[in-house]
Amino acid sequence: MVKKIKVVWLCHFSNAFVHEKLDLHYNRMIGLVKRIAHKPVSTKVSEFSNWISNGIHEFEKFDDVELHIISPYPNLKERVQEFEDNGICYHFFRSEDDDFDVFMYKKLFHPTNYSYKRNCKVISHLIKRINPVIVHLFGAENPHYALGVLGINDNIIIIAQLQTLMNDPAFKDNYPISNSEYYYRAAVEHRIIMKANFIGTTVKKYRQIIQKDIKPTAIILNTLLVLNEPVTKIHCDKQFDFVYFSANINKAADLAFEAFGIAFQHSPNITMDVIGAYDTETMQSLEIIMSKYGIKHAITFEGRLPSHDDVLKQIRKSRFALLPLKIDITSGTIREAMSNGLPVVTTDTGELGTQTLNVKRQNVLISTIGDHNALAANMLRILEDDVLANTLRENSYQTRIEEKSNEVIAKRYVDAYRCCLDCTRDNLPLPKEITEV
């Protein structure tokens, strides 16, 4: 019998299942301050980081890994809440951002180099108690939990799975984030990459940056995020022409709104549905764009929907997906749109990014980032050419079916775990099938 590998996933996610399992309680003092500032107060948490939920679902089927999940969760009543389900052990902790003294300190002083000592202490305690052989971190760019790996003993193997790479020079230029927060989070990411024994990513651009500018000796695994959605041909009534959706629309909504405004001048009956959270500053900037083009009446804001399934049901109500990118190589939203029968209009993130979607067959329409007229022209093309729209739709179905299943991606994690353990113990290089893309 093969011995089980004890692995911790250090990550941040939410889904309907864990939300129902946890005992939540909003801090009354924080709630009072937010009410005074006219901010929403709720223990409701939408789903996010679906690749973690997908991965957990696959690992429920495996019997050769003992998987423990350590994750912060908003508004936990107790500092730590734990349970086991379907062979997966869950360890959730309340982030110190939900402690009143920390909340007020950060609101008043806006520290640029916050160390999250309380979170790190909780994470360290949990890891010592679990005693894993591997800690697999998802998201080195998120200090509130990623900093927890820096105190891990050297006898535990650390794999840092990249969700993005803030040390990519293009990130700072295109992501809506202050300079102080960017430099802080990029520095944390840098420290974690230096600490990790292995880095997980198949993005060639990220690999090149890490090995050239951060850690020339880095050993990089060809592990993917478990992003794939079931390919479905569910047909439903279409209420909108385009949908723009993201967990947080702050990233690239301005590109979508500018292009929609230009396309609207040529086709004044078009509509767009917008799904995702947004902050006040983003909405103010979008109000300016909507006023410039007179398009406010043509756009519907859904906000952040409760579950991932709700998002998929809502995007199917649109004919096409308008999903411009600024920094992402490709995005989960593009994959989700393709899987659900929505032809996609997006932007060019290079030969390692969205261009890869059209290598075998044309799946998406691409224009240069920032060229709003070209993006709008592609919107009009897809509106006016039913043959093109159907071709993109069928090509997307075929491409998504051909891609690796979530089960295959998750099994690659297990193969990587065993190879990392064996090769570390015997001081051997990893086999090429684990490292080469």
Q: What are the tens digits of pLDDT across the range 393-417?
A: 999 988 888 877 899 999 999 999 9
Q: Predicted confidence band at 306 (pLDDT cuts at 50, 70, 90)?
A: confident
For 136, phi and psi rounded to 5 degrees? -105, 105
Same domain, yes or no: 372 and 394: yes
- Residues 256 and 277 occupy one common structural domain: yes
The rounded distance, in Å, linking the Cα atoms of 43 and 193 is: 34
Note if the pTM is more than 0.85: yes
**Judgement on whether residues 44 and 127 belong to the same structural domain of the protein:** yes
Q: Where are the beta strands (DSSP E) in 154-285?
A: 157-161, 198-200, 220-221, 240-248, 272-277
Structure tokens at 95: 């982030």
Q: Which tens digit of pLDDT belongs to each residue from 239-253?
A: 999 999 998 898 899
Lowest mean pLDDT, pick from 179-183, 348-352, 392-396: 348-352
Is 233 a member of any domain? Answer: no
| Beta bridge mates, 6 | 66
Domain count, the chain: 2
**Interhelix angle 253-266/280-293, nearest 10 degrees:** 10
Q: Within its chain, how far is the Cα of 437 from the centroid?
A: 21
- Nearest 5°: phi and psi at 35? -65, -40
Tokens 């809502």 appear where?
314
* Token pair in block for residue 104: 């007020």
Which CATH number goes with the domain that contains 55?
Answer: 3.40.50.2000
Q: Is residue 271 part of a domain?
A: yes
For the chain, the residue count is 437
Q: What's the half-sphere exposure (Cβ side, CA atoms, 13 Å) at 96?
A: 18
Say yes or no: 27 and 145 in one domain. Answer: yes
Q: Tens digits of per-residue pLDDT, 213-238?
A: 999 999 999 999 998 777 777 778 89
On average, the pLDDT of the chain sits at 92
Torsion, Cα 284 287 289 291, to 10 degrees, reads -140
User: Which residues, other chains included, contact 167 with Cβ-Cβ below 8 Å and sequence gap of 6+?
Assistant: 186, 189, 190, 193, 209, 210, 213, 214
Is 378 in the same domain as 424?
no
Instruction: Count CB atoms within 10 A of the CB of residue 23.
Output: 9
CB atoms within 10 A of CB 406: 20
Q: How far apart are CA 328 and CA 336, in angstroms?
A: 15
pLDDT over 60 (residue 357): yes
Buried-state track 372-387, b at ≥16 Cβ within 10 A, e below 16: bebbbbbbbebbeeee
Summarize the confidence of residues 164-191 as an average pLDDT: 90
More confident residue, 1 or 331: 331
pLDDT tens per residue across span 103-121: 999 989 989 899 999 999 9
| pLDDT of residue 1 exceeding 60 | no
Between strands 240-248 and 272-277, the pairing is: parallel
Q: Domain of 339?
A: 240-402
Residues 351 and 414 in one domain: no
The reply to whether 271 and 208 lie within a common domain is no
pLDDT of residue 370: 92
Bridge partner list, 85: 88
